[in-house]
Structure 1
Amino acid sequence: MRRTGLRVSTGGSRRPPCGRAARPVSCMASSSSSTPTPQGTVLVAGATGGVGQILTKKLVERGFNVKALSRNKEKSVELLGTASNLDHVEGDITDKGTLSSCMPGVSAVVCTTGTTAFPTLRWLGNNDPERNSYLGVKHLVDVAKEEGEKSGKGVDRFVFVSSAGVKRYDQGPPYSILNAFGVLVAKEKAEDYLISSGLRYTIVRPGRLTDAPYTSYDLNTLIKGESGTRKEVNLSLEEELDGETSRAAVAESCLQSLLHSFMADTTFSMESVVGEGPGTDDAEWVKRFQEIQA
């Protein structure tokens, strides 16, 4: 399959996963500048959600061409505004037939969708964990592969925002409680499906999300939880971090993962801790990414 679109090069190298041969990677931008120059089009699934809103705006501001995917185009325009490099597209990840028209021209997909861990009104309309957090992601992966096979222009990266606890839900509280209705099992299945798909992937596992926009039905939405001085990020290749995580930091980690090709075929956990943090500095994110892979 011919790879086109998103390109990037950084100063680091990455060991291939055990059992897999190293492959040439391409993602976003060029190596001729210290600040990567966006190329290609990114589809953000869940663009009207908390992380999705922040990420979409970040990508647009950085100059990426963006397709903001949501169930409601009017709501998307209201929340995200308009820009010459922003296209609002309507589709439902739980209904695969609505996604094919959104995929042509896309070079990367970032899936920020999700639902509540416990039954709420948000589960209505086939939005329970199994159909949203597993089947929805599976549909996106399948459509991305099908578009590549049809057009010869494959998706260079699929970034999936998963969750802390996907490998610990059988080890007792708190994740056994969080998984009472299967949300972590669904996300684990989605991770496994993406990894086995053949697409180049990055999986992000944040802890409980804090900071606006508050779009979910959880404790931090109720109390308007904020990260405050916790602007630094802890990252780990192990599924071991438990701290709350700023939505802004999650969104930036997704953007930075796209920018830097050595983050392909990588899964990492993250949490927000006290400190200044990398903010939106590309070099600082590269430093943190490379430290966990050393």
Structure 2
Amino acid sequence: MQRTLIIGASGQIGKQVTQLMLDGGHFATALVRDKSKLSDVQGNTLSIVEADLTEDFGHAFEGCTEVIFVAGSGGDTGADKTLLIDLWAACRSADYAKKHAIQHFIMVSSIGADAPSNGPNEMQPYLVAKHMADEHLIRSGLHYTILRPGSLTNDDAKGSFSDERPKDKSEAVITRADVAQALVYLAGDNRQDSMIKELFNGGKTLTEVLR
């Protein structure tokens, strides 16, 4: 039986991914620090594991075949939390995944994670953390997909995508709802080759962009 572990399931994107998975009849395990934050998520195929990503959370991987890592420290935290969540927890997740023979690891990274030094100074700690977490996953030997979305907005889903970075930075954006849709699409994808994709709103379908 396929079961997807969603790490960071109570976050803005994670909660949408969790509900979409349940709406599609998929079995999902939501890893959260406080299960009360999922009180508005409904589905008979949902299991919830409470754990702190700064502590041991390896037990959450039991019985799962796939992982979506969508956890993040948040924009109002300092570099310490960025290191602990966006870097260290992500790296540990890959290690746990390998130990539990996870078939597919989907990592939510960020545009600019390929070249952190090119990003704005205030973003570099975050981009370095994402870069190092991505590199750890790449070297892990796991089958992976690394998704690097553009700047995130809370607009309604547009249902249109692009994997070509716009020249105008103001257009390098994507809604959180569309990122959630892309993650659910990737969770149902049976491709065996690993890939890294940047993702923005654009004029193509998910199939055109992610295949």
Structure 2 length as normaliser, TM-score? 0.89
1:265 and 2:194 equivalent? Answer: yes
Larger radius of gyration: 1
The answer on whether the counterparts of 1:45 and 1:70 sit within 8 Å (CA) in structure 2 is yes
From the superposition, tell whether residues 240 and 199 of structure 1 become closer, same or farther in structure 2 (CA, over 3 Å). Answer: farther
What percentage of residue pairs aligned between the two structures are identical? 24
1:196 to 121, 128, 139: 139
Three-state SS of the structure 2 residue aligned to 1:79 is: coil
1:113 and 2:41 equivalent? Answer: no
Three-state SS of the structure 2 residue aligned to 1:209 is: strand
| Structure 1 counterpart of 2:184 | 255
2:110 to 163, 175, 178: 163
Rounded Cα–Cα distance in structure 2 between residues aligned with 1:87 and 1:143: 18
Rounded Cα–Cα distance in structure 2 between residues aligned with 1:239 and 1:192: 24
Rounded Cα–Cα distance in structure 2 between residues aligned with 1:129 and 1:163: 13
From the superposition, tell whether residues 112 and 207 of structure 1 become closer, same or farther in structure 2 (CA, over 3 Å). Answer: same
Rounded Cα–Cα distance in structure 2 between residues aligned with 1:49 and 1:179: 20
Three-state SS of the structure 2 residue aligned to 1:179 is: helix
Post-superposition offset of 1:241: 8.8
The answer on whether the counterparts of 1:227 and 1:245 sit within 8 Å (CA) in structure 2 is no
Deviations, residues 120-179 of structure 1 (Å, cap 9, x unaligned):
3x45xx961111101010111111222x2xxxxx211000000011123323xxx22342
The answer on whether the counterparts of 1:178 and 1:184 sit within 8 Å (CA) in structure 2 is no
Rounded Cα–Cα distance in structure 2 between residues aligned with 1:92 and 1:53: 17
Structure 2 counterpart of 1:66, one-letter code: A
1:101 and 2:72 equivalent? Answer: no
The answer on whether the counterparts of 1:145 and 1:155 sit within 8 Å (CA) in structure 2 is yes
1:235 and 2:159 equivalent? Answer: no
Alignment of 1:10-21 (within 5 A): none
Post-superposition offset of 1:287: 2.9
Structure 2 counterpart of 1:71, one-letter code: R
* Number of residue pairs the alignment of both structures matches: 209
Q: Once superposed, what is the RMSD of the aligned Cα atoms? A: 2.4
Alignment of 1:143-154 (within 5 A): 143-146=96-99, 148=100, 154=101
Structure 1 counterpart of 2:74, one-letter code: T
The answer on whether the counterparts of 1:133 and 1:186 sit within 8 Å (CA) in structure 2 is yes
1:207 and 2:159 equivalent? Answer: no
| Structure 2 counterpart of 1:18 | none
Three-state SS of the structure 1 residue aligned to 2:148 is: strand
Structure 1 length as normaliser, TM-score? 0.65
Please identify which structure carries the higher strand content. 2
From the superposition, tell whether residues 54 and 169 of structure 1 become closer, same or farther in structure 2 (CA, over 3 Å). Answer: same
Deviations, residues 46-77 of structure 1 (Å, cap 9, x unaligned):
0010110111011111111100111001222x
| Structure 2 counterpart of 1:79 | 40
Rounded Cα–Cα distance in structure 2 between residues aligned with 1:45 and 1:184: 19
Alignment of 1:271-282 (within 5 A): 271-273=200-202, 278=205
The answer on whether the counterparts of 2:17 and 2:180 sit within 8 Å (CA) in structure 1 is yes
Rounded Cα–Cα distance in structure 2 between residues aligned with 1:87 and 1:155: 17
Rounded Cα–Cα distance in structure 2 between residues aligned with 1:250 and 1:263: 21
Gapped runs of 5+ residues in structure 1? 6-39, 149-153, 212-225, 279-284
From the superposition, tell whether residues 168 and 239 of structure 1 become closer, same or farther in structure 2 (CA, over 3 Å). Answer: farther
Runs of 4+ in 1 over 3 A off after TM superposition: 238-242
| Structure 2 counterpart of 1:220 | none
Post-superposition offset of 1:240: 8.1
Gapped runs of 5+ residues in structure 2? none
| Structure 1 counterpart of 2:95 | 142
| Structure 2 counterpart of 1:289 | 210
| Structure 1 counterpart of 2:82 | 129
1:56 to 5, 14, 18: 18
